Amino acid sequence: MEELEPPAVGPVQGLAGKAPVEPASPPENVAVVVNPVAGAGAAQRIWPRIARLLREAGLSFTAAFTDRPGAGIDLARRALDRGCDCVVAAGGDGTVHEVVNGLLQEGAPPQARLGIIPLGTGRDTVRTLGIPRHPAGAVARLAAGRTRWVDAGRISFDAPLNGVTERYFLNIADAGLGGETAARVNRSGKRLGGFLSFLQGALVSVATYRSRRAAISVDGAPPEPVELTTVAVANGRYFAGGMFIAPHAEMDDALFDLVIVRGMSRLALVTNLPKVYHGGHLRHPKVAVQRARQVTIDAQEQVLIQADGEVIGFLPAAFTILPRALAVIC
């Protein structure tokens, strides 16, 4: 498996710094999918203020609230059926994940654009997209209508009870320690906020996790055996409440950045964890980075997968990049 030399890590320009590929045009028929429990329940409390901001911005919208896992997928599909030209995920990264899956369920780029009002604890997807993390700024960005086409990832994986299943992701999917951490953090309710919840979850997971035997194939090459600590299949740059796991990932280059951590000891994981927040982990000899269009990962033991912070199933899995899959207002 050919590896990329870790480039020097410094300031990296997000999509907000690039010229949009579509003329700016405000959406005319907006559907807002609101997760009321996002941000440890803060979303429900501040939704009236956000609705007022949307009206003041001159946006015509309807709002629907999620009431169960997976509801965002259904609500996004219904918005498409009604002819909405923009579907807004108002919630955390998990809400964005569900709306993206609703928009891409037919396997082709949807007619509607994706908008995001970040209300969750992690807010990792918007960091790469350059969308303001404050709701007022995000609403202003929606009203401006500046649009960019971005890639998405598709995963075929083993889901409990459902067998082989497909899901889409916009930001990052991860198998191994990242999946274990996401499961632990989601169970905790994220009451400590994004940064502390994920940091605590990572430290506790490191204390009990051990590397698994796995095999990774990139772009059709023969599978390579690895002692897998974790592997991030990255379209975006940030996950787990601000960890800068893939500093050089681009959401519009038709490539994943594959970050593989092999056989790292618990002590090394703990001592290197702070480096992940500024990208310094890429210099560690147990970390390899390469770019890929397709990745398949198999394991001889049970290994959890998370996508956009949502735990979705287990290895084996196949990951495929979908170029220009979504038009995002950012």
pLDDT digits (tens, 9 = 90+) for 118-142: 999 889 999 999 999 999 999 999 9
Is this structure's pTM higher than 0.75? yes
> Which position has the token pair 């979705």?
312
Q: Which residue has the higher pLDDT, 8 or 136?
A: 136
What does the pLDDT average to over 235-243?
A: 94
Pairwise CA distance, residues 88 & 118, whole Å: 10
**Angle subtended at Cα 272 by Cα 269 and Cα 275, rounded to the nearest 5 degrees:** 140
Q: What length is written for the chain?
A: 330
DSSP class of 128:
H
Pairwise CA distance, residues 216 & 312, whole Å: 19
317 Cβ contact partners less than 8 Å away, ≥ 6 residues apart: 155, 156, 157, 158, 175, 296, 297, 305
Mean pLDDT in the chain?
90
- The H or E element spanning position 203 is helix 194-208
> Which position has the token pair 């280059």?
253
What does the pLDDT average to over 102-123?
A: 91
User: φ and ψ at 136, to 5 degrees?
Assistant: -65, -40
Domains of the chain, start order: 22-145 (3.40.50.10330), 152-324 (2.60.200.40)
User: φ and ψ at 102, to 5 degrees?
Assistant: -65, -40
Residue 3 has pLDDT above 60, yes or no: no
Tell me the C-alpha to C-alpha distance, in Å, between residue 144 and each of 131, 132, 244, 327.
12, 13, 28, 14
H helix runs in the chain, sequence order:
42-56, 71-81, 93-103, 124-129, 135-144, 177-188, 194-208, 266-276
Q: How many CA atoms lie within 13 A of 329 on its CB side?
A: 26
Residues 165-177 pLDDT 10s: 999 999 999 999 9
